[in-house]
Amino acid sequence: MINSYGIATYQEANPAFWTVTTFPFLFAVMFGDAGHATIGLCVGLWMCLKEKQLAARLIYNDFFSKSVNIFGSSWKPTTPKEEMMSIDSEMIDPSKGGYANVPYPFGVDPVWQVSDNKIIFLNAFKMKVSIILGVIQMTFGVDTAYEEACGTPYMFAGQGGIQQFFRIIAVICIPWMLLVKPFLVRKDYKARVAANGGRHPEGEEPFNFVEIMILQGIHTIEYVLGSVSHTASYLRLWALSLAHAQLSEVLWMMVLRSGFSSDQWYGGVILWFAFSFWAVITVMILILMEGLSAFLHTLRLHWFRGNFTKGREFL
């Protein structure tokens, strides 16, 4: 897959080394349902029975749109049981008490399944996580490109401090990228002219400072806008993850749940048809279509050749 974008240049870090980890991880962020993943895993095991598997392990505790109750809940009921049974809807609010102020150990607290503000919470949560993951991966790529450009294949003791310094002064680096190189090029040109007796060096193109400034300005704008664009690209982690979870929940509530609506003798027949329809839609849309969509978006986020590597070699 990496070679389809470009073969790593000699002594250049091959993106495939970390892609085997980041690719399944980002895919799992967007395709975060253990039930759907189980079906996909079974198909993958059938197709690659003897091939070693690489997995992102578990990220969410969703199982067919329902959060699995593994560690209990960090919320305690503050409403009497009799009153709670008569309430049609409930909003979870930490300011009203009942929250233990302890983060849920894994996935999403299952109590959110019964809350009317679940979508608001998940929307904000997944958007922030997407930005954090995007900044981490892009920072890693920029640091790798910096190492390649400097030609220093080994880490040194002060590298961590320098990387932190670059992150803090990112805004200051914008005019730095724009102005420093053109003036250094002009200074170097004047030095060569002085060494040549005040004459333009033979065999060189005429020096045009304005052209150099325009070219450097284009590169600076392209890099800055590209950084913003790449960060926004990682919002697809949030969008696809939220969409997949909501589609799963709608399918569960509107289709499969209707199969349990009758306690008469024909309830089993209704359940059979409801389950059959639910299973077909789950496989066709939530697993095949959503899985392909998540795969393509993950592939887009790993477009290393255009971001951080040169990839100019050939097989």
Nearby residues of 271 by Cβ (< 8 Å), 6 or more positions away? 259, 260
Question: b/e map of 263-282 (b: 16 or more CB within 10 Å)?
Answer: eeeeeeeebeebeeebeeeb
In the chain the beta strands, taken as DSSP E runs, fall at 62-63, 66-67
Q: Over its length of 315 residues, how does the chain's per-residue pLDDT go in tens digits?
A: 776 666 766 666 777 777 778 777 877 777 777 787 788 888 878 777 765 555 555 666 676 667 777 777 776 766 666 666 666 566 676 666 667 677 777 777 777 777 777 778 788 888 888 888 878 877 777 777 766 666 655 555 676 777 777 678 878 888 888 888 889 988 888 888 888 777 777 777 777 888 889 999 998 888 888 777 777 777 888 888 888 888 888 888 888 888 887 778 777 888 888 888 888 888 888 888 888 888 888 887 776 545 556 666 655
What CA–CA distance (Å, rounded) separates 202 from 199? 9
C-alpha separations of 90 from 35, 101, 118 in Å? 27, 19, 10
**pLDDT at residue 55 in the model:** 52
Place of tokens 């309430």: 87
Flag whether the pTM goes above 0.85: no
**pLDDT at residue 305 in the model:** 46
What CA–CA distance (Å, rounded) separates 34 from 61? 7
Taking CB atoms within 8 Å and a gap of at least 24, the contacts of 78-82 are none
Query: Nearest 5 degrees, angle CA 265-CA 268-CA 274?
Result: 140
CA quadruple 210, 215, 220, 221: dihedral sign: positive
